[in-house]
Amino acid sequence: MLFKKDVQQIIEHGLTVDKINDQIETFKNGIPYADVITAASINNGILQLTKQEQEDLVNLYETKRDALELVKFVPASGAATRMFKFLHQFLDTYDPEKGRLLDYIRKGNHTQVALFFKSIGDFAFVNMVRKKIRMHYPNYKNSKKGERAVMLAKMLLHEEGLNFSMLPKGLIPFHKYNKYYTTAFEEQLFEAAFYATANDEAYLHFTFSEKHVDFFREEFEEVKKRVSKKTKKRFNISYSFQKPETDTIAVTGNNKVFRDKDNQLIFRPSGHGALLKNLNEINADLVFIKNIDNVVAEDYVPVIAFHKKVLAGKLVTVQEKIFNYMHQLCEETVSKQTVNEVKSFLWNELNKKEIPDSILALKSVLNRPLRVCGVVKNTGAPGGGPFWIKDDQGNMSLQIVEMAQIDTQNNHQRSIANEATHFNPVDLVCGLRDYEGNKFDLQKFSDPNSGFISLKSQYGKPLKALELPGLWNGAMAHWNTIFIEVPLQTFNPVKTVNDLLQKEHRPNL
């Protein structure tokens, strides 16, 4: 039941009562699971290119790129809190007055804690945290090992120290070079210079949290001269925020609206699917999408860039064929040979299992946003992957499906999920314009019924949250999709701070 003050709060948030009621109905009725038919695999929805094919696509992209408007789109609003989750738990559960650090680690099997403190000198932020320690703990060196560990963790995470747990992940020092360190934000700029530039100009769009935008602006002013000097490129940055009107209402386990201590409604960000509105405002020929934390040290960038250009070359090749066919299909008379060519193209290159007969329907299938997605071999990492699914009309299509969208209580569906050979690392190249150069309205190609409900907690109480169709999941459900296998070394996300100890995050000094 909504009260008058609730209606006012809903309107002030940019939402409508009808939308909130629809969301509550969704909680009550649930969201149907994806009907997964089989996992995509090599030669069954996933292309495995030879070295020569890769090089040909890279060369093609290099010849075309200066005539294209390119943008690199980087979701970057995530806070770094989860990166340091095990250190927060350490501060909550370890008391140096009651026992030795070594005993705590052994008893609780706290291997991540042990690795972190053992390797502290290898992190890019080591000198920063040591400076804070000297300011706040003059007796640090004379303290016991456990006490020193607590001091260090506090200076890293808490407000009086570096306050890293409240910073966006993009501004945490990731890589340590001889005379400076770099953040994930700076590495995204550096990497873009190798594949997302035309005429020596790089355009990047970041989605920040509004409260962090000044921090990113400061960082850009600080590093742009260094990156420009190293790459001989000019950098142009734009940014946007996840829009409040994409938030969703939180409910209790009984599907009643969840309220805070002041009896106010709780709205929650609706996942990365909300960024479809942000992506829809990008006007470019070709857009690269990559998460903020999936970066590498400079030594490894050429390999990353090569495979990005492979994906871009494939997109340009397929897009040119689509545009050519669209122009032919729009002529007054269309030959039977052209129609047959289009049908063959849809089957062989765009993985369409249902091929329409009419020219109008063929144009409808062709004239859609196009994405070429890199996928890596499955390592058991959490997240989505490429699958063949069937919609409620019985049509099969290739989709990126999150595990939360699969009914793992169903033995058959679970076995299909377990057979997945590849994983989605969020490595996309997208074509957002049609054959006449007009920008697609991306919201017309989304599946609004493919979100999911997740269980969260607030104030120590359980709640249910509604996530919109994911940006590369349901939000792109009706795009034309091509999957290409890329090497595992192109996927280097930083989920915990200890991931920064892997070799791809360690410059060869």
Low-confidence ranges of the chain (pLDDT < 70): 382, 509
* pLDDT number for residue 379: 82
Of the chain, the percentage scoring pLDDT greater than 70 comes to: 99
Residues 6+ apart with CB under 8 A from 401: 34, 36, 384, 385, 386, 387, 389, 473
Residue 182 CB-density burial (10 A; 0-12 exposed, 13-18 middle, 19+ buried) = buried
* pLDDT number for residue 244: 85
Q: Write out pLDDT tens, residues 74-85.
A: 999 878 888 999
Q: Are 356 and 395 in contact (CB under 8 A)?
A: no
Alpha-carbon span 162 to 102, nearest angstrom? 26
* pLDDT number for residue 243: 83
Q: Are 321 and 346 in contact (CB under 8 A)?
A: no
- List C-alpha distances in Å: 246 to 105, 170, 275, 429: 43, 23, 9, 24
Specify the pTM: 0.93
* pLDDT number for residue 509: 66
* pLDDT number for residue 220: 96
Alpha-carbon span 465 to 469, nearest angstrom? 13
CB atoms within 10 A of CB 118: 10
Residue 333 CB-density burial (10 A; 0-12 exposed, 13-18 middle, 19+ buried) = exposed
Q: Are 432 and 370 in contact (CB under 8 A)?
A: no
Alpha-carbon span 318 to 373, nearest angstrom? 13
* pLDDT number for residue 270: 85
Alpha-carbon span 207 to 246, nearest angstrom? 14
Beta strands in 337-411 (DSSP E): 370-377, 385-390, 396-401
**Which residues share a beta bridge with 239?**
206
Q: Write out pLDDT tens, residues 55-95.
A: 999 999 999 999 999 999 999 987 888 899 999 999 999 99
Alpha-carbon span 45 to 373, nearest angstrom? 11
* pLDDT number for residue 79: 81
Alpha-carbon span 338 to 346, nearest angstrom? 12
* pLDDT number for residue 382: 67
Token representation of residue 283: 């006007």
Token representation of residue 495: 């989920």
